[in-house]
Structure 1
Amino acid sequence: MDVLSQSEIDALLNALSTGEMKIEELKDTQKNIDYKLYDFRRPNKFSEEHLRSLQVLHGVFARFLTNFLTGYLRNNIQVEVVSVDQLTYEDFIKSIPSPTVITIFKVKPFNENAIIQFDPMFLFPMIDLFFGGNGDAPGEVRELTDIELSVTKNVSDIVLDNLVLSWKDIVPVEHEILSVETNPNLHQIFPFNEIVALITMTTKVGESTKGFINLCLPFTLLDPVIIQPAQKRFGAHISAADEKERKKVEYWLGLPKIELTVVTGRAQITVRDFLQLQEGDVLVMDRKLDQDMDVYVGENLKYKAQAGTLGDQFAVQITALAGEGDHDV
């Protein structure tokens, strides 16, 4: 997108004020612009640059894992990153096929949980190799036995050791396996609306058995690993020209005014009581002291908030997005 200089902005405003250019001409120009819908309930927390960084980082992880498993199990094993996406935790859970196996683990020192999901068509050949087999997969996918689940924990340790190794140059971390599960619907690891990064890797054991591994990492974990370091690197290289462009963008962003209204509560009274209202009368609201207040953007209910003060002024703190069951004015 082209950014206008201040002289171009002044010329445009002057043309509008003198009638040399009509506002309809600008509207016609706007009709040719492609707009993208944005879902504020499912915000994109990862930029394209962040997703590319995750792809590169976990490409290294996939190579480490390929080399280790090939040497450790003495069989040709390939792991390759095929996609990095962002979605809600709810969408991730809905996308998981059954049967499957997930390992829930904690990343230290951040004490944030994460999930790694193994496709049975990756696990069964791996388990067969662990027991001295040729890496064969069963004809039909089935539930794992208790012994196979125990071996899966060992597989998870190996995979996560290589993940930690691939992160080492960016941030030193350790992992702790919390549990190995076969039914992800029984465990809500994150809030359903939590934004997560989903790294999908294809696997190949031997010459033909293909499967996949999914790594589900919440934004709260990746923020100190990917986001903050990237912001620090970016901030250290801001030039004077960049600062000028930033101020120009801030100027244009500051032009639109959006009215926010906070509703502390509502009360119903008769017309007679309304006509007799006077100073000192008390109205009982429909909201208790510990309940959130409603915050409207224009006429639309968007947020919930708690009242407080900031300095010597009344203020509210946003506590949540308005739910589906809430109603507008």
Structure 2
Amino acid sequence: MADDPNISGGFSDILDQSEIDKLLASADVQKKTHIYRADGQRLDAATGPKVETYDFRNPVFLTEVELRRLRLMHEDFIRYLSARLSLFLRMEFALKMAKLTTLSYLKFTEALPNPTHLCLFKAEPLFGVGILDINPRLALTIADRMLGGRGHSVKAERYLTEIEIGLIEDIIMIVLEEWCGQWKQEQELHPQIIGHETNGRFLQTSPKDAVILALTLEADFGDCAEQMQIGVPYYTIEPLVKSMQARRQKDTTVATSVAKKAEWQPIYEKISIPVRAEWDAFELSLREIAALRVGDVIEMPAGIVEKTRLLLNNTPKYEGTVGIEGDRVAVNLVKKITETEIAPPKPYGR
């Protein structure tokens, strides 16, 4: 059977490993996608636009840099709010940022707990309605403190009554005033409460696909530890974010631009500056200096008079020639000494 030509010829059809790799590589090659312009012309792959994936169901309106800037702003807001609430309630009110993120309005409302207390507010003159979510246990504990209680946590899981809502509105206004105050560099905002709700599933203050900037706070008040949330539509704060970006870009441009030319101010006329003329003549040893006596004559180089340095506040600024002007010794300024011409101090022995 070993001499059968059919069997021996079958071995020649077996592929080696290199040929298998070539077949696999050719199968993995994807067909290039052609990109066409609006006029029908095909763009070259080398000079064509950069194509990136985009999720229309979960759009991202804020970059990581912008979110980081907003996070820093809200950290200041939380610090000021904690101090103000502590003074108002005469009891420590600790706040900490749990999360600052963007999500759709539908996901934001579906994630709201039940029961809860929702406050609908506006920040005039901006468009859109914001939502402040406060846990009922925290709200009842605050209301108990405002009525003279010790601030112990209220265990009841229920909706707030009209009287309790009236009390808690003072706290809500403080929160909204501090939130609006963090945007004062961009625009002056005035908070306004427009309503209260108890269930977020029936809210229709924004489209379902609207992007919400959601801030989650962890509040510790007495022995009560609950959360608060502030949700604001992105289209509401978009003018403020753009103004903040433009202002930061302007500050960066000014910082990197050429320094402004110094201008003379009238107040400079009364500033006194010590002026001194000196020569860099020669060096003496410590023994020679100790041997100097009154009446000794020190020889100077012949051209030293023409190399007189004028120092302003101990800084060499001009070089000139010493001469006699009437009954005074004068220095005729010849040139200005630049910073590169100022020689570093010579090291001396210890």
Query: If the length of structure 2 is used for normalisation, what is the TM-score?
Result: 0.55
CA deviations on 1:124-173 (whole Å, 9 max, x unpaired) are 21111111101122223212122112222222112112212222233211
The residue number in structure 1 matching 2:206 is 190
CA deviations on 1:90-117 (whole Å, 9 max, x unpaired) are 0000000101111111111123321111
Out of 127, 139, 146, the position equivalent to 1:111 is 127
Higher mean alpha-carbon deviation, 97-106 vs 146-155, is at: 146-155
CA deviations on 1:219-252 (whole Å, 9 max, x unpaired) are 111211123421453377579xxxxxxxxxxxxx
Out of 210, 217, 220, the position equivalent to 1:201 is 217
The residue number in structure 1 matching 2:328 is none
Distance across 1 between alignment mates of 2:211 and 2:182? 23
Distance across 1 between alignment mates of 2:226 and 2:155? 14
- Alignment-mate amino acid for residue 147 of structure 2: F
The residue number in structure 2 matching 1:102 is 118
The residue number in structure 2 matching 1:65 is 81
The residue number in structure 1 matching 2:335 is none
- What secondary structure is seen at the aligned counterpart in 2 of 1:172? coil
Out of 59, 78, 95, the position equivalent to 1:43 is 59
- Alignment-mate amino acid for residue 90 of structure 2: R
Out of 154, 159, 162, the position equivalent to 2:178 is 162
Out of 149, 155, 158, the position equivalent to 1:142 is 158
CA separation of 1:57 and 1:194: change in aligned 2, threshold 3 A:
same
Give 1:39 shift: 2.1
CA separation of 1:122 and 1:167: change in aligned 2, threshold 3 A:
farther
Distance across 2 between alignment mates of 1:160 and 1:184? 19
- Alignment-mate amino acid for residue 211 of structure 1: E
Distance across 1 between alignment mates of 2:234 and 2:95? 24
Out of 165, 169, 177, the position equivalent to 2:193 is 177
Out of 226, 240, 256, the position equivalent to 1:225 is 240
- Alignment-mate amino acid for residue 108 of structure 1: E
Distance across 1 between alignment mates of 2:98 and 2:179? 16
Higher mean alpha-carbon deviation, 51-60 vs 89-98, is at: 51-60
- Alignment-mate amino acid for residue 143 of structure 2: I
CA deviations on 1:44-77 (whole Å, 9 max, x unpaired) are 1111112112211111111111111111111111
CA deviations on 1:19-51 (whole Å, 9 max, x unpaired) are xxxx97x969xxxxxxx9742122111111121
Distance across 1 between alignment mates of 2:247 and 2:84? 33
Out of 193, 211, 214, the position equivalent to 2:229 is 214
- Alignment-mate amino acid for residue 52 of structure 1: R
Distance across 2 between alignment mates of 1:140 and 1:50? 40
Identity of aligned residues (%): 25
User: Structure with the greater relative contact order (CA < 8 A, sep ≥ 6): 1 or 2?
Assistant: 1
Distance across 2 between alignment mates of 1:65 and 1:169? 18
- What secondary structure is seen at the aligned counterpart in 2 of 1:198? strand
Where does 1:1-16 land on structure 2 (aligned, <5 Å)?
none
- What secondary structure is seen at the aligned counterpart in 2 of 1:127? helix
| Unpaired segments ≥5 residues, structure 2 | 1-24, 31-51, 255-350
The residue number in structure 1 matching 2:310 is none
Give 1:122 shift: 2.1
Distance across 1 between alignment mates of 2:184 and 2:84? 16
1:75 equivalenced with 2:91 (yes/no): yes
Distance across 2 between alignment mates of 1:72 and 1:152? 12
- Alignment-mate amino acid for residue 228 of structure 2: I
Query: If the length of structure 1 is used for normalisation, what is the TM-score?
Result: 0.58
The residue number in structure 2 matching 1:16 is none
CA separation of 1:131 and 1:49: change in aligned 2, threshold 3 A:
same
CA separation of 1:158 and 1:99: change in aligned 2, threshold 3 A:
same
Give 1:187 shift: 2.4
1:124 and 1:136 in contact (8 A); partners too:
no
The residue number in structure 1 matching 2:148 is 132
